[in-house]
Amino acid sequence: MLKYLLKRIFQMFVVLFVVSVIVFCVMSFTGDPVLMIVPPTATDAQIAEARIALGLDRPLWEQYSVFLGNLLRGDLGVSYMFKRPALTLIVERMPATLELVFLSILISLAVALPCGVFAGARPNSPLSRAIMGGSLLGISLPSFWVGILFIFYFAVEKGLLPSSGRGVTGLLFGVPFAFLTWDGFRHIILPAVTLALGTLAMLIRLIRAQIMEVMRQDFIRFARAKGVSWSSLLFSHALKNALVPVVTVFGLQVGSLIAFATVTETIFAWPGMGKLLVDSINTSDRPVIVAYLMIVAAMFVLINFIVDIVYTLIDPRVDLR
Amino acid sequence: MSEYLLEVKNLKTCFELFRGTVKAVDGVDFTLKTGEILGIVGESGGGKSVTGFSLLGLIDAPGRITGGEILFRGEDLLKKSEEEMRRIRGKEISMIFQDPMTSLNPLQTIGRQIDEMLALHTDLSSAGRRARILELLNEVGIPTPEDRLDCYPHQFSGGMRQRVVIAIALAANPRLIIADEPTTALDVTVQAQILKLMENLVKKFGSALILVTHDLAVVSEMTHRVVVMYCGKIVEEAPTAELIRAPRHPYTKGLLGSIPRITGVRTPRLPQIPGMAPHLFDLPKGCSFAPRCGYATERCREEVPAMRELSAGRRAACHNPVSTEKRTAGNG
């Protein structure tokens, strides 16, 4: 186990190194941040001065080695716009994104598990067909459109829920979270549901397919021959066997939700990391973009690692080595 | 109550498929007494397994039991609700499946899988169940059962898994066990052990056993009586010894003839039944076996033969049953 752990940690570093190279190269081809920073009236001399001050005059490999050196010390650079460390900016926004993602995941699981299991167990019932039709909509409809529709209906027409912002936040371990206050909770509902829809729909389809596959297996028939009840058959025999592929996809989905909550956060003006990313791209705030991508990459790697551990908890046949 | 534990009368199970209706079991009758071992023999697709599953009410859509009666201890199982059947499955009638590699849940310990059966059908406390599980595992010949309780199926060999399956089938002390090709997936050496084990346990527990198999060697060693099925119908029924010595239906004769013999006269080629079993979608007009039968006459191709009593306890559905004296090369 320890050997496996060390191997995985080594792999994580390799992946993050490769990501850092790619991110750094791609970023240096996109736009000139110097022009965004200096005032429009700046002279050529002033622009050149700013370029030198930012270190952007040096060759790419040199810029990269400085970046890497700083990275290893935990320094991801200073935002051009905010004049504050990029890492701090992102970490400040992280709770907002994480609570949004966490709630979306809860919604997805709470809906997808029962719906998927039911649709898989009774594929021909009208309710299953309705679930499958609904999930197709959930997959096909783009979240920006659904989000706008939600705002139009629930916020503008009915005035039931607020359309933007995070509302009043409460403190937990000194970190502000919106879901702790009633006002904040009302603010989080629409973006969380919007964000959940795609994942939810995909999980329903995946769980259904897996349950249908498992229900054909011999051991299910054998369990029925033992006199096991229908619900126990589904939840204690079939579901666990259906879960391994579901966990894989679910892990990847959690990663993408964190990384790409961007669209939803922009629509609902949710002050999370995604919105910070979009703002930073608009202003060519390179250190923030690079730092954001590095952090997201690290999260992906970490989630995949957790998924692998979860496999072993589900399936005794999986051997990590 | 009747003298029989199980009486199957004119059982019909159909599968409604896209291409049409398949009569997988077409008017099957047989009886079984307590403690008796009955063999159901035939080629693949002959309706043997479907008969077994029909008894437990485990026929899934598009399949359906369309007629007949299954009298178990005098009560018709076909009239029972799903909930009532659930209490009969495992407790009164249990089943052993063909492939031990797939019939156990891979994600549950074997202890838990046996425990589930006991929890469903007995009033034992959890300590009592544990003691019973150890006893059962010991009974089926699993060494050091205490250490094996928390093992998963993949940590067992095929033969060991089938022993576990047998332990599960016996756990609630059922009156009838249906074994669907219980040794087909096992090594030959293990086959013999498992069969011996089943025979002994059935005797010890006083259960009746239906052994569904295509293996006549297995049948000849274990069963008291044999039912031979072909294309969903019973073609011959007889006490095992008599059937082996003098088969009356040409199909049975063909099956027996295609077993290689070590002793006696060596034939240059192993005899086999010519042709293939017809597809259940397009059965021939008369006797289903007629196209492959060396004894077939014009009548066989026109008229479905009815089941006839040939002698006490022997019956066959054939217009021209093989005479007990005649030794023709015909099919055999």
The domains of chain B, with CATH numbers, are 6-101+109-229 (3.40.50.300), 247-261+269-332 (no CATH)
Interchain CB contact of B165 with A (< 8 Å): yes
Pick from B91, B103, B107: CB nearest A316: B107
Contacts of A83 (CB under 8 A, 6+ apart): none
Q: Alpha helices, DSSP H only, in A122-237?
A: 126-140, 143-150, 182-215, 218-225, 230-232
Preceding peptide of A114 cis, ω within 30°: no
How high is the pLDDT of residue B2?
A: 64
Whether B90 sits inside 8 A of A226 (CB atoms) is yes
Whether B89 sits inside 8 A of A229 (CB atoms) is no
If you measure CA to CA, which chain B residue comes closest to A232? B116
Cβ atoms of residues A180 and A303 within 8 Å: no
- Residues of chain A with C-beta less than 8 angstroms from the C-beta of B58: 221, 224-225
Interchain CB contact of B89 with A (< 8 Å): yes
Cβ atoms of residues B302 and B286 within 8 Å: yes
Look at residue B272 and tell me whether its pLDDT is greater than 70.
Answer: yes
How high is the pLDDT of residue B255?
A: 86
Question: What is d(CA B31, CA B39) in angstroms, rounded to the nearest whole number?
Answer: 12
Look at residue B227 and tell me whether its pLDDT is greater than 90.
Answer: yes
Interchain CB contact of B97 with A (< 8 Å): yes
- Residues of chain A with C-beta less than 8 angstroms from the C-beta of B152: 316-317
pLDDT digits (tens, 9 = 90+) for A265-299: 888 888 888 888 888 888 777 788 888 888 888 88
Pick from B58, B107, B116: CB nearest A241: B107
How high is the pLDDT of residue B114?
A: 92
Q: Pull the structure tokens for residue A56.
A: 């952007």
Whether A229 sits inside 8 A of B86 (CB atoms) is yes
Integer distance in angstroms from the first to the last C-alpha of chain B? 43
Question: CATH assignment of A86-314, given 3.40.50.300, 3.60.15.10, 3.40.640.10, 1.10.3720.10?
Answer: 1.10.3720.10
Look at residue A54 and tell me whether its pLDDT is greater than 80.
Answer: no
- Residues of chain B with C-beta less than 8 angstroms from the C-beta of A219: 102-106
Question: What is d(CA B32, CA B75) in angstroms, rounded to the nearest whole number?
Answer: 14
Pick from B56, B102, B117: CB nearest A218: B102
Pick from B107, B116, B152: CB nearest A226: B116
If you measure CA to CA, which chain A residue comes closest to B180? A222
- CA B134 vs CA A222, B90, B101, B115, B144: distances in Å: 21, 19, 22, 10, 9
Q: If you compute the radius of gyration of chain B from its CA atoms, what whole number of angstroms results?
A: 21
Question: What is d(CA A237, CA A231) in angstroms, rounded to the nearest whole number?
Answer: 9
DSSP classification of residue B303: S
- The region of weakest confidence among A35-49, A115-129, B117-131, B275-289 is A35-49
Residues of A with CB under 8 A from a CB of B: 124, 217-219, 221-229, 237, 240-241, 314-317
Whether B99 sits inside 8 A of A316 (CB atoms) is no
Whether A227 sits inside 8 A of B91 (CB atoms) is yes
Interchain CB contact of B105 with A (< 8 Å): yes
Split at pLDDT 50, 70, 90, the class of B329 is: very low
Q: Say whether the ipTM exceeds 0.90.
A: no
pLDDT digits (tens, 9 = 90+) for B132-181: 999 889 888 888 888 888 899 989 988 888 889 988 988 888 899 999 88
Which of A213, A224, A229, A240 is the best residue to mutate to test the B interface, defined by the most B CB atoms within 10 Å of its own CB? A224
- Residues of chain A with C-beta less than 8 angstroms from the C-beta of B99: 218
Phi, psi values for residue B217, rounded to 5°: -65, -45
Give A158 or A103, the one with higher predicted confidence.
A103
Domain borders along chain A are 2-72, 86-314
How high is the pLDDT of residue B330?
A: 44
Helices A286-314, A273-282: axis angle to 10 degrees equals: 150
Q: Pull the structure tokens for residue B256.
A: 């027996």
pLDDT digits (tens, 9 = 90+) for B190-208: 888 888 888 888 888 888 9
Cβ atoms of residues A85 and A291 within 8 Å: no
Whether A227 sits inside 8 A of B86 (CB atoms) is yes
Interchain CB contact of B299 with A (< 8 Å): no
Cβ atoms of residues B293 and B287 within 8 Å: yes
Contacts of B26 (CB under 8 A, 6+ apart): B12, B47, B231, B232, B233
Whether A229 sits inside 8 A of B165 (CB atoms) is no
Whether A217 sits inside 8 A of B102 (CB atoms) is yes
Look at residue B326 and tell me whether its pLDDT is greater than 50.
Answer: no
Whether A227 sits inside 8 A of B106 (CB atoms) is no
Whether B168 sits inside 8 A of A218 (CB atoms) is no
- Residues of chain B with C-beta less than 8 angstroms from the C-beta of A229: 86
How high is the pLDDT of residue B134?
A: 92
- Residues of chain A with C-beta less than 8 angstroms from the C-beta of B117: 226-227
Q: Name the average pLDDT for chain A.
A: 83
Strands (E), B202-252: 208-213, 225-230, 233-239
Pick from B61, B105, B117: CB nearest A219: B105
CA of B233, closest CA in chain A: separation in Å? 24
Look at residue B332 and tell me whether its pLDDT is greater than 60.
Answer: no
Look at residue B37 and tell me whether its pLDDT is greater than 90.
Answer: yes
